[in-house]
């Protein structure tokens, strides 16, 4: 068999494993999937092993699909000295305050099902903020909460925490923003507030965001990125980057590009953000195993594919590029394989994606 065929065979096995896991056991066993790749296992052994297994029991999920705790990777991160630790899930308060916190967590880990009227893709907040928004260096919610209000160049104004959340819905979730004060935003904010219990009010708090990388030694490269992708990412996110869903349509592995992913206005669309996220968090379960150069290359490769239009579209790609993407950090409006990225016309009208069982 050729390398490509082996890859496909492995991919098929993965889908099969997921299918069997979901249907027979009702639980997706992430680690049994890894057993199919010796290379993977070897890498895993040499990877940094961690102590911080903070994922706790999830409250049972919304609609019969597996509870998110099973789908979200247990963090493998060495405990860092001096890092803020959010309260344990088991310490969530009871009563009214506890209820709204729990609702916020539920929205965060299962966004399309919890808020179908606002989400336009297969992603969840936890897709990019791992371990239910608890994990340091994965843009954790507790670090975000203590950093707003703040001036943002994106909005050219002082943004409150709820306004920051609105942006996530418009761009990362390719959806619509709930109004300020909407119960969903209040719930997400309450969850973040609770996670930040005891944290210092400090936008420079350790663990915030994704640790930025130094500029790449060699300019990021599409062809090298494609190789990194095939070797390290395609297994889960699919050779075509569109992720993998269960038969019922539940996205087990989120889409990295295409109509089911974040749109051109999202933070992850910046190559530097994507490289930083990938270096610290991907491949899932093996964070930190790519070199910085590989992270840059694969981030450029990922962001050199088509995705939903920037909602700030001004009527032309050139105009939108001039207004929002005049940076080397964005591939919007640039030509890749003879096609101009972003040249897909005005944003499509919002349509919530079918995500749950019929
Ligand atoms: C496609 C990946 C992705 C998804 C999905 C996503 N985010 Fe984010 N989020 C990011 C990136 C990247 C940043 C930082 C980039 C920036 O500064 O623009 C960020 C930043 C944030 C911040 C500010 C962090 C800080 O320290 O300032 C908050 C709060 C946040 N996201 C909440 C959410 C919520 C709530 C959802 C779900 C409704 C969500 N995100 C979905 C990628 C994502
Ligand atoms: C073992 C499976 C697996 C592998 C391998 C893997 N990922 Fe992921 N990736 C995931 C899962 C699952 C999530 C969502 C995390 C969650 O929900 O807890 C994710 C999330 C992401 C996200 C944010 C969400 C989105 O769709 O934009 C990006 C970007 C990403 N991965 C890029 C990569 C890249 C690049 C590689 C290769 C270097 C890679 N991943 C390898 C499973 C994997």
Q: What is the pLDDT of residues 132-150, one digit of tens each?
A: 999 999 999 999 999 999 9
- Ligand lying closest to the C-alpha of residue 115: 1
168 lines ligand 2 (CB under 6 A): no
- Please report which confidence band the pLDDT of residue 320 belongs to, taking 50, 70 and 90 as the band edges: very high
Tokens of 280: 């610290």
Task: Quote the pLDDT of residue 238.
Answer: 97
28-41 residue pLDDT tens: 334 334 333 444 44
Task: Quote the pLDDT of residue 23.
Answer: 33
Q: From ligand 1's centre to the CA of 209, what distance in Å?
A: 9
Question: Which has the closest alpha carbon to 175: 261, 234, 245?
Answer: 261
Instruction: Give the residue whose CA is nearest to atom 42 of ligand 2.
Output: 284
Tokens of 139: 């843009």
Residue 110 has pLDDT above 60, yes or no: yes
Instruction: Give the residue whose CA is nearest to atom 23 of ligand 1.
Output: 144
Find where tokens 């590009």 sit: 257
122 lines ligand 1 (CB under 6 A): no
Task: Quote the pLDDT of residue 309.
Answer: 98
130 lines ligand 1 (CB under 6 A): no
- Please report which confidence band the pLDDT of residue 79 belongs to, taking 50, 70 and 90 as the band edges: low
Residue 127 has pLDDT above 50, yes or no: yes
Contact partners, residue 299, CB within 8 Å, separation at least 6: 220, 225, 271, 272, 274, 275, 278
DSSP letter at 172? I
pTM of the model: 0.85
Instruction: Give the residue whose CA is nearest to atom 17 of ligand 2.
Output: 127
Q: Which of 20-34, 92-106, 246-260 has the highest mean pLDDT?
A: 92-106
- What's the CA dihedral at 280, 229, 296, 122 to 10 degrees? -60
Rg (CA), the chain: 20
Phi-psi region of 132 (alpha: psi -120 to 50; beta: other; left: phi over 0): left
Task: Quote the pLDDT of residue 82.
Answer: 81
What residues does 151 pair with on adjacent strands? 158
189-211 residue pLDDT tens: 999 999 999 999 999 999 999 99
294-310 residue pLDDT tens: 999 999 999 999 999 99
What residues does 152 pair with on adjacent strands? 157
126 lines ligand 2 (CB under 6 A): yes
- Please report which confidence band the pLDDT of residue 2 belongs to, taking 50, 70 and 90 as the band edges: very low
Distance, in Å, from the CA atom of 100 to the CA atom of 106, rounded to the nearest integer, reads: 10
- Please report which confidence band the pLDDT of residue 352 belongs to, taking 50, 70 and 90 as the band edges: confident
Least confident of 38-42, 234-238, 276-280: 38-42
Across all residues in the chain, what is the average pLDDT? 83
164 lines ligand 1 (CB under 6 A): yes
149-202 residue pLDDT tens: 999 999 999 999 999 999 999 999 999 999 999 999 999 999 999 999 999 999
- What are the C-alpha distances in Å from 82 to residues 55, 79, 205, 300? 20, 9, 10, 33
Task: Quote the pLDDT of residue 353.
Answer: 64
What residues does 160 pair with on adjacent strands? none
205 lines ligand 1 (CB under 6 A): no
136 lines ligand 1 (CB under 6 A): no
267 lines ligand 1 (CB under 6 A): yes
More confident residue, 13 or 242: 242
For residue 141, give the ligand 1 atom closest to its CA: 29
- Please report which confidence band the pLDDT of residue 250 belongs to, taking 50, 70 and 90 as the band edges: confident
264 lines ligand 1 (CB under 6 A): no
User: Are residues 18 and 30 in contact, defined by beta-carbon separation less than 8 angstroms?
Assistant: no
The strand ranges marked E within 182-328 are 244-245, 251-253
Contact partners, residue 157, CB within 8 Å, separation at least 6: 151
Least confident of 77-81, 202-206, 271-275: 77-81
283-294 residue pLDDT tens: 999 999 999 999
Mutating to test ligand 1, I would choose from 172, 212, 310 the residue with most ligand atoms within 8 A of its C-beta, which is: 172
268 lines ligand 1 (CB under 6 A): yes
Residue 53 CB neighbour total at 10 angstroms: 11
User: Are residues 151 and 123 in contact, defined by beta-carbon separation less than 8 angstroms?
Assistant: no
């Amino acid at each position: 068999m050729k390398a490509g065929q082996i890859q496909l065979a492995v991919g098929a096995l993965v889908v099969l494993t997921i299918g069997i896991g979901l249907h027979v056991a009702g639980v997706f066993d992430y680690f049994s999937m890894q057993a199919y790749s010796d290379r993977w296992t070897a890498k895993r052994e040499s990877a940094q092993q961690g102590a911080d297994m903070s994922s706790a029991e999830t409250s049972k999920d919304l609609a019969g699909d597996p509870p998110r705790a099973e789908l979200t990777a247990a963090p493998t991160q060495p405990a860092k000295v001096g890092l803020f630790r959010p309260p344990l899930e088991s310490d969530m308060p009871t009563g009214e305050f506890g209820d709204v916190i729990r609702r916020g967590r539920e929205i965060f880990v299962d966004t399309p099902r919890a808020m179908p009227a606002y989400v336009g893709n297969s992603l969840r907040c936890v897709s990019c903020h791992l371990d239910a928004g608890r994990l340091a260096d994965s843009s954790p919610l507790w670090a975000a909460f203590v950093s707003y209000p703040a001036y943002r160049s994106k909005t050219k104004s002082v943004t409150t925490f709820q306004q920051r959340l609105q942006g996530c819905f418009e761009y990362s979730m390719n959806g619509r923003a709930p109004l300020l004060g909407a119960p969903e935003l209040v719930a997400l904010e309450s969850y973040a507030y609770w996670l930040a219990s005891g944290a210092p009010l400090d936008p420079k708090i350790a663990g915030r965001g994704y640790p930025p990388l130094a500029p790449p030694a060699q300019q990021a490269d599409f062809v090298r990125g494609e190789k990194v992708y095939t070797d390290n990412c395609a297994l889960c996110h699919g050779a075509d980057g569109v992720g993998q869903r269960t038969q019922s349509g539940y996205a087990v592995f989120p889409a990295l590009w295409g109509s089911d992913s974040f749109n051109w206005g999202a933070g992850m669309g910046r190559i530097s953000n994507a490289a930083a996220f990938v270096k610290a968090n991907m491949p899932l379960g093996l964070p930190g195993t790519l070199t910085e150069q590989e992270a840059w290359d694969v981030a450029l490769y990922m962001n050199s594919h088509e995705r939903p239009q920037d909602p700030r579209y001004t009527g032309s790609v050139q105009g939108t590029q001039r207004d929002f993407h005049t940076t080397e950090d964005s591939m919007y409006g640039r030509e890749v394989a003879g096609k101009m990225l972003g040249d897909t016309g005005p944003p499509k009208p919002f349509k919530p994606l079918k995500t749950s069982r019929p």
